[in-house]
Amino acid sequence: AQSVSQHNHHVILSEAASLELGCNYSYGGTVNLFWYVQYPGQHLQLLLKYFSGDPLVKGIKGFEAEFIKSKFSFNLRKPSVQWSDTAEYFCAVSSISSNNDMRFGAGTRLTVKP
Amino acid sequence: DADVTQTPRNRITKTGKRIMLECSQTKGHDRMYWYRQDPGLGLRLIYYSFDVKDINKGEISDGYSVSRQAQAKFSLSLESAIPNQTALYFCATRDRVNTEAFFGQGTRLTVV
């Protein structure tokens, strides 16, 4: 079955540490990939997206993600996290093979200690 | 005003009651989605619609129904609410295939 997997359930980092959150998907064919962030008590907001072209995508607030087609992965990175990055992060996939619906991973909760 | 508006924002209802959650959007998007969010499970797709005449089941449609009254309105109904439908519900819209989704503020539903 088509799915989106996020490996880390809860990540705790100190400020200035580097971040990498994993995302793998099992869809075939062409995919559109997204990372969303949900700050406490708020709705989801787009961090970055990949549709085609350069597999290294830069988003808002210093986040970036790399699409590795051979690994079916779209990992999120940030070189130096801040306390304000504390939030829940969701990977999402949309594909023609799944009727263009949009499916989400289970999310990774990031806690950044000041 | 928000582009995607959900009403109500919070609701407590009793087991067995019928409840409707409403979503309206001003973005002019064709595609609308309903998700529920549960801790540790992320967002799971309930139903989605690509236009007024096109309704599709998502991952967890059992116990739910939807109505696409107009391009801008997409309602989610629980015909007979049960406690395990207690969750945070989000509506989202998308324009075309390769665009991101825009989310409403969410509806927190508690079934007692």
pLDDT, averaged per 10 consecutive residues of chain B (112 residues), comes to: 89 97 95 93 93 92 96 96 97 83 95 97
Q: Are strands B31-38 and B42-51 parallel, antiparallel or unpaired?
A: antiparallel
Q: Is A59 on the interface with B (CB under 8 A)?
A: no
Considering only CB atoms, which chain A residues are within 8 Å of B103?
43-45
Q: Is A109 on the interface with B (CB under 8 A)?
A: no
Q: Is A67 on the interface with B (CB under 8 A)?
A: no
CB-based contact B59 A44, cutoff 8 Å: no
Q: Best residue in A6, A97, A102, A108 to probe B by mutation, most B CBs within 10 Å? A: A102
Q: Residue A31's beta-bridge partner residues?
A: A95
Residues of chain A under the 70 pLDDT cut: 1
The pLDDT value given to residue B1: 57
CA proximity to B21, closest of B93, B110, B82, B109:
B109
By C-alpha distance, the chain B residue nearest A102 is: B45
The pLDDT value given to residue A3: 87
Q: Using one digit for the tens of pLDDT, what is the confidence trace for A86-103?
A: 999 999 998 877 777 889
Distance CA A78, CA A82 (A): 10
CA proximity to B49, closest of B26, B28, B73, B27:
B73
Contact B72, B82 (CB under 8 A): no
Question: Token digits for B20?
Answer: 């409707």
Considering only CB atoms, which chain B residues are within 8 Å of A51?
98
Considering only CB atoms, which chain B residues are within 8 Å of A42?
105
CB-based contact B101 A102, cutoff 8 Å: yes
Considering only CB atoms, which chain A residues are within 8 Å of B97?
32, 94, 96, 100
